[in-house]
Amino acid sequence: MTLAETTRSTMQACGVSADLAVSGGMDVVSPVSGEVVATLAVHDVAATHAAIDQARAAFKAWRMVPAPRRGELVRLFAEELRKSKEDLGRMVSIEAGKSPSEGLGEVQEMIDICDFAVGLSRQLYGLTIATERPGHRMMETWHPLGVVGIITAFNFPCAPWCWNSALALVCGDPVIWKPSEKTPLTALACQAVLDRAIARFGTDAPEGLSQVLVGGPEVGEALVDSENVALISATGSTRMGRIVGPKVAARFGKSILELGGNNAGIVCPSADMDMALRAIAFGAMGTAGQRCTTMRRLFVHDSVYDQIVPALIRAYGSVSIGNPLTSDALVGPLIDKAAFDGMGAALAEAQALGGTVHGGERHDVEGAASYYVRPALVEMPVHDGPVLRETFAPILYVMKYSDFDSVLEDHNAVGGGLSSSIFTTDLREMETFLSARGSDCGIANVNIGTSGAEIGGAFGGEKETGGGRESGSDAWRAYMRRATNTINYSRDLPLAQGVTFDI
Ligand code: NAD
């Protein structure tokens, strides 16, 4: 079977009926082999506006459905996701080049957030707050917000959509999804699985409750510019966020920005070296370095540098690289040529600054016209140049440190503020890293790597990562509007702050 045929049969198994061979449409290229696996019709700006109108109408009905009943739809969706886990996981591998276990892991994340959202649908609680006025009660209530536009990146073709949509749906909001133009098939497959749940749920679910728009940045821009989209949740590069954030703010819309990171680890003298080695290897090489939480910088105390760095270099030299659909290789392909070129340029820049590069060369896999590389570990004499920015490829810059306070300074001296980890068994170092003068990232871990977050916690980061939070904890609040209500059940009209106004 060709990859295009496998794609077609997997899409059919998910329930997708769309034409996957539209003449003159948008090609979808698999990074696994470089083949075109489908050609899709794209939505234009007019179609985007029509989708927004439909979602607005859906909002009027959906906001009146009781939240626990809305949760029932998400519960059914989780059931359908469980049935389609293998097929959706395969689509992630075909479109994003992830290993089967990472593809399935991404679908599991969708199931997990649905389970979380179902429980949440019976909460969505506000506070009752002490009031200074006798015979009064003050409370806050949370109401559905409106249409939610979800823009996603190629490297997680489905989980971030579900982090947003599972919460948005229980919060009473319709969703419109603009997936990456590099991974639209997984999006269509997810929508087909959700459509099965909607069909089982019945007529309480209005038309247009969840829609997918296939297309490039111009479709995202139409969502971003529309005053009828209450919340834009955008996942992608900091470059994209710099455009999207100000546009949404200018129209007083709400946004959740989940942007690039430049995540680091610190290996301290007391670290469990074997554990650190394994955590760093997964954090830096997993998903071929194409996770927002990929470890990109590593600071190693000079007293243990020779214990861990040679072992890491050996791991980089021997890690298996290959076709994620036909082998059990740990490292799959880069998404495309641009990613490969970006990696080469960053390595050349690092070398010019005195870096010693181990790995980084193109790797032939079955003669495929795609871009497999050996992950690169670069021993850097300086914390400078390409080290200071995110290159979305498997490059780990390794630097020596001797002073804990200065390594904390270097750790935080980059634009990205997403994820971080420290490897130590020293309580003082650990607590300092997690304290107000420690890591300035949204995620700070101890003795685990930078990637692989669980859905129960809020996910997101500071600075150029955009400041958004998704997924667990109280991230649901971004999908609702808060009203403060004060009720007077007395026979008097006392004014707050002792103000008098007697007429
Ligand atoms: P990208 O910024 O190129 O594209 C992301 C999405 O934004 C795509 O759907 C694209 O069509 C859309 N887009 C681009 N320009 C737009 C515009 N002007 N208006 C509206 N939409 C626009 O990112 P990518 O290459 O697909 O993904 C890799 C990047 O995403 C990396 O920087 C990575 O760190 C980041 N990322 C962040 C997170 C996170 O949660 N923080 C998660 C995954 C990926």
- Phi-psi bin for 471: left (phi > 0), alpha (psi -120 to 50), beta? left
Instruction: Tell me the average pLDDT across 12-29.
Output: 96
Q: Please, which residues have CB within 8 angstroms of residue 189's CB and are 6 or more apart in sequence?
A: 10, 11, 14, 15, 16, 84, 87, 88, 91
Token readout for 433 is 């890293």
Token readout for 299 is 């600071």
Instruction: Tell me the average pLDDT across 413-422.
Output: 98
With a 6 Å cutoff on the Cβ, whether 216 touches ligand 1 is: yes
- Residue of 98, 161, 235, 340 best suited for mutating to test ligand 1, as the one with most atoms within 8 Å of CB: 235
pLDDT digits (tens, 9 = 90+) for 286-313: 999 999 999 999 999 999 999 999 999 9
Instruction: Tell me the average pLDDT across 343-347.
Output: 98
Report which residue type is found at 327: S
pLDDT digits (tens, 9 = 90+) for 419-443: 999 999 999 999 999 999 999 999 9
Nearest atom, ligand 1, residue 239 CA:
2
pLDDT above 90 for 452: no
CA dihedral 43→48→51→56, nearest 10 degrees, is 170
Closest CA to 370 of 288, 490, 277, 310: 288
Instruction: Tell me the average pLDDT across 403-422.
Output: 98
With a 6 Å cutoff on the Cβ, whether 217 touches ligand 1 is: yes
pLDDT above 90 for 1: no
Domain covering 264-446 in this structure, CATH number? 3.40.309.10
Which contiguous run of DSSP H or E holds residue 13? Answer: helix 3-14
Report which residue type is found at 323: N
Q: Please, which residues have CB within 8 angstroms of residue 72's CB and are 6 or more apart in sequence?
A: 118, 121, 201
Q: What is the pLDDT of residue 368?
A: 82
Instruction: Indicate the pLDDT class of residue 262, thresholds 50, 70 and 90.
Output: very high
pLDDT digits (tens, 9 = 90+) for 182-210: 999 999 999 999 999 999 999 999 999 99
Instruction: Tell me the average pLDDT across 382-409.
Output: 98
- Tell me, in angstroms, the distance from the centre of ligand 1 to residue 167's CA: 21
pLDDT digits (tens, 9 = 90+) for 24-62: 999 999 999 999 999 999 999 999 999 999 999 999 999
With a 6 Å cutoff on the Cβ, whether 154 touches ligand 1 is: yes
Q: Domain extents for the chain?
A: 42-259+466-484, 264-446
Report which residue type is found at 100: P
Token readout for 490 is 């007395």
Which of 95, 258, 390, 464 is labelled catalytic?
Answer: 258
pLDDT digits (tens, 9 = 90+) for 473-484: 999 999 999 999
pLDDT above 90 for 367: no
Instruction: Indicate the pLDDT class of residue 366, thresholds 50, 70 and 90.
Output: confident
pLDDT above 90 for 164: yes
Q: What is the pLDDT of residue 188?
A: 98
Residue 378 gets which letter from DSSP?
A: E
Q: What is the pLDDT of residue 251?
A: 98
**What's the residue count for the chain?**
503
CATH level 2 (architecture), domain 42-259+466-484: 3-Layer(aba) Sandwich (3.40)
With a 6 Å cutoff on the Cβ, whether 87 touches ligand 1 is: no
Q: What is the pLDDT of residue 66?
A: 98
Alpha-carbon gap, residue 143 to 248, rounded angstroms: 21
pLDDT digits (tens, 9 = 90+) for 243-261: 999 999 999 999 999 999 9
Q: What is the pLDDT of residue 291?
A: 97
Buried b vs exposed e over 261-295: b needs ≥16 C-beta within 10 Å? bbbbbbbbeebeeeebbebbbbbbbbbbbbbbbbb
pTM for this structure? Answer: 0.97
What sign for the dihedral angle of Cα 186, 183, 441, 344? Answer: positive
How many CB atoms within 10 Å of residue 348? 13
- Tell me, in angstroms, the distance from the centre of ligand 1 to residue 286's CA: 19
Nearest CA to ligand 1 atom 9: 180
Nearest atom, ligand 1, residue 215 CA:
11
258 a catalytic residue: yes
What sign for the dihedral angle of Cα 242, 247, 249, 255? Answer: negative
What sign for the dihedral angle of Cα 279, 284, 290, 292? Answer: positive
Nearest atom, ligand 1, residue 179 CA:
9
Q: What is the pLDDT of residue 68?
A: 98
Query: Is the ipTM here above 0.90?
Result: yes
- Tell me, in angstroms, the distance from the centre of ligand 1 to residue 315's CA: 30
Average pLDDT, the chain: 97
Instruction: Tell me the average pLDDT across 88-93.
Output: 98
- Tell me, in angstroms, the distance from the centre of ligand 1 to residue 110's CA: 19
Nearest CA to ligand 1 atom 35: 236
Nearest atom, ligand 1, residue 216 CA:
11
CA dihedral 63→478→109→97, nearest 10 degrees, is 110
- Tell me, in angstroms, the distance from the centre of ligand 1 to residue 257's CA: 10
Percent of the chain predicted with pLDDT > 70: 100
